[in-house]
């Protein structure tokens, strides 16, 4: 098994049970798992000898802050093809969606593959090592397999969410009928994906999630059936909930329930469930989520972009609700900088609830351990023996960190977010000196931009 030794980190942030921050820190990984963490001066002799004899890969982390890889709990990667679309720049959620559905109906399998590569490159360069993706449109032969293939090529730890929409406009839903699927086909494909790909083992690089899209795009029947299927196979459940006032109004009008009551009525609470946004989760909903261990993917940039509001993250955390971060789809952010998302989480809570509402270390904890808990994993989000070898390092020589040596860890959140210097996923170096090693990025971006143009041309030609 290959050994990787990271040495001399200015600070090593562990996020372990004691939240230790180790000055001049070192870490040893063997294969996919961390074996040892501590001060460089205390590195065990056997590892020192392996490093000296060239029997281990050695990373000199001098001048860098090293921390657990960040965890992204909500994304729609295909939307990287539809950033800054003029017709959707200045809209709230429902009209934003209505303006984009027809454009997305022209997606192809290659577009899903390449946009996933692009989105993952952006995430990896910004500190993320584990991500979920919620793909809920399958036009023109596109499949979740296309996103999974891209994740395997990029070397990213992936929770692939089999999204779905079944409630077209003719049945009282929001999406046009052309982009929804039959429920039987959705459930059949969900089962196929679980059987083909889901890996429940420790350090798994790929897990499958079932993820009907939202209360206004699927039926109650599909929500219930998906929950039964997920629980029969031990996979997690994910959807959108209580995103804005219109979303809550839809729930009250159609179901005569709050979004939290609706979720509970369908069996959509528990440690194996996480909901995106929850901007309008009420106190009863927060208590319910805390009691049941139901997770929340907090997406501050998207919530600001669509003017959805300020999610009650302070209240959720105080009540014990698991909260992670999500960059959300690139048509509503439209940037997917994971460390930047942690910064926005802190800033937005302060706008809503004052300067004590969130500190830098809490923001980093939400971005790492919080995300791990939301994804129902205990093998990522912290650096300690037995945890997955997922870590990133930021170079404090970047201009944005100049003068912040008083507290380099807090600087990661307070200062303008930089890209990573180093990223290691499952014991494998995937970013070195700021360069992505698993893909030829200019080639990927060239293809991505050509496909984005094709998508627009097809949509405007209306065929």
For Zn ion, the binding residues (CB under 5 A) are 328
- As measured in angstroms, the least distance from the Cβ of 276 to Zn ion is 5
- As measured in angstroms, the least distance from the Cβ of 331 to Zn ion is 9
- As measured in angstroms, the least distance from the Cβ of 240 to Zn ion is 5
User: How far is residue 192's CA from residue 198's CA, in Å, rounded to a whole number?
Assistant: 10
- As measured in angstroms, the least distance from the Cβ of 15 to Zn ion is 26
Coil, strand or helix: which one is 399? helix
CB nearer Zn ion, residue 72 or residue 419 = 72
DSSP state of 431: E
- As measured in angstroms, the least distance from the Cβ of 277 to Zn ion is 7
CB nearer Zn ion, residue 328 or residue 334 = 328
Query: Of 167, 168, 122, 160, which Cα lies nearest the Cα of 143?
Result: 160
DSSP string of 157-194, one letter each residue: EEEEEEEE----GGGT-SS-GGG---HHHHHHHHHHHH
CB nearer Zn ion, residue 97 or residue 420 = 97
The answer to whether 316 and 323 have CB atoms below 8 angstroms apart is: yes
Q: Where are the alpha helices (DSSP H) in 313-440?
A: 313-319, 338-353, 360-365, 371-374, 408-414
Place of tokens 């959720």: 316
- As measured in angstroms, the least distance from the Cβ of 91 to Zn ion is 15
CB nearer Zn ion, residue 204 or residue 297 = 297
The answer to whether 357 and 314 have CB atoms below 8 angstroms apart is: yes
CB nearer Zn ion, residue 66 or residue 135 = 135
- As measured in angstroms, the least distance from the Cβ of 298 to Zn ion is 12
Torsion angle of the four alpha carbons 135, 139, 145, 146, in this order, in degrees rounded to the nearest 10? -90
- As measured in angstroms, the least distance from the Cβ of 275 to Zn ion is 10
CB nearer Zn ion, residue 100 or residue 156 = 100
CB nearer Zn ion, residue 272 or residue 328 = 328
The answer to whether 436 and 422 have CB atoms below 8 angstroms apart is: no
| Residue 68: strand pairing partners | 391
CA-CA distances (angstroms) from residue 352 to 71, 244, 344? Answer: 24, 16, 12
Cis peptide before 334 (omega within 30 of 0): yes
- As measured in angstroms, the least distance from the Cβ of 333 to Zn ion is 10
Give the distance from CA 189 to its chain's centroid.
23
CB nearer Zn ion, residue 203 or residue 298 = 298
User: How far is residue 331's CA from residue 85's CA, in Å, rounded to a whole number?
Assistant: 8
Instruction: Print the SS3 string covering 58-86.
Output: EEECCCEEEEECEEECCCCHHHHHHCCCH
The answer to whether 211 and 161 have CB atoms below 8 angstroms apart is: yes
- As measured in angstroms, the least distance from the Cβ of 340 to Zn ion is 17
CB nearer Zn ion, residue 146 or residue 328 = 328
CB nearer Zn ion, residue 68 or residue 300 = 300
The answer to whether 316 and 289 have CB atoms below 8 angstroms apart is: yes
């Amino acid at each position: 098994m290959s050994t990787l030794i990271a040495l001399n980190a200015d600070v090593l942030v562990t996020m372990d049970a004691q939240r230790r921050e180790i000055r001049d820190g070192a870490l040893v990984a063997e294969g996919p798992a961390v074996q040892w963490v501590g001060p460089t001066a205390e590195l065990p002799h056997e590892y020192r000898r392996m490093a000296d004899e060239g029997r281990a890969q050695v990373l000199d982390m001098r001048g860098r802050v090293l921390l657990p890889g960040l965890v992204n709990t909500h994304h729609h990667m295909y939307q990287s093809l539809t950033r800054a679309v003029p017709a959707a720049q200045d809209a709230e959620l429902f009209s934003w969606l209505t303006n984009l559905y027809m454009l997305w109906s022209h997606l192809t399998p290659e577009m899903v593959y390449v946009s996933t590569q692009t989105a993952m490159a952006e995430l990896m360069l910004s500190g993320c090592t584990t991500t979920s993706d919620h793909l809920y449109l399958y036009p023109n032969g596109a499949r979740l397999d296309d996103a999974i293939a891209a994740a395997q090529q990029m070397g990213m730890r992936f929770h692939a969410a089999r999204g779905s929409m079944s409630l077209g406009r003719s049945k009282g839903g929001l999406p046009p009928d052309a982009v929804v699927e039959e429920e039987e086909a959705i459930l059949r494909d969900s089962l196929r994906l679980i059987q083909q790909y889901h890996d429940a083992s420790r350090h798994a690089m790929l897990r499958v999630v079932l993820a009907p899209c939202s209360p206004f795009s699927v039926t109650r029947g599909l929500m219930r059936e998906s929950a039964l299927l997920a629980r029969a196979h031990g996979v997690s459940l994910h959807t959108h909930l209580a995103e804005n006032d219109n979303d809550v109004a839809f729930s009250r009008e159609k179901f005569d329930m709050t979004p939290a009551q609706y979720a509970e009525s369908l069996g959509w609470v528990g440690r194996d469930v996480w909901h995106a946004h929850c901007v309008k989760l009420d106190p009863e909903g927060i208590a319910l989520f805390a009691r049941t261990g139901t997770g929340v993917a907090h997406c501050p940039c998207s919530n600001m972009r669509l003017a959805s509001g300020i999610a009650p993250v302070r209240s959720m955390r105080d009540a014990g609700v698991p909260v992670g971060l999500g960059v959300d789809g690139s048509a509503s952010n439209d940037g997917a900088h994971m460390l930047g998302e942690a910064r926005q989480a802190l800033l937005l809570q302060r706008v809503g609830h004052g300067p004590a509402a969130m500190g830098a270390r809490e923001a980093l904890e939400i971005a790492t351990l919080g995300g791990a808990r939301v994804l129902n994993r205990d093998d990522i989000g912290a650096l300690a023996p037995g945890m997955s070898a997922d870590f990133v390092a930021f170079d404090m020589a970047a201009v944005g960190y100049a003068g912040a040596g008083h507290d380099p860890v807090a600087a990661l959140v307070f200062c303008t977010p930089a890209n990573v210097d180093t990223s290691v996923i499952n014991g494998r170096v995937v970013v070195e000196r700021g360069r992505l090693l698993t893909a030829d990025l200019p080639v990927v971006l060239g293809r991505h931009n050509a496909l984005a143009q094709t998508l627009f041309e097809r949509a405007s030609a209306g065929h």
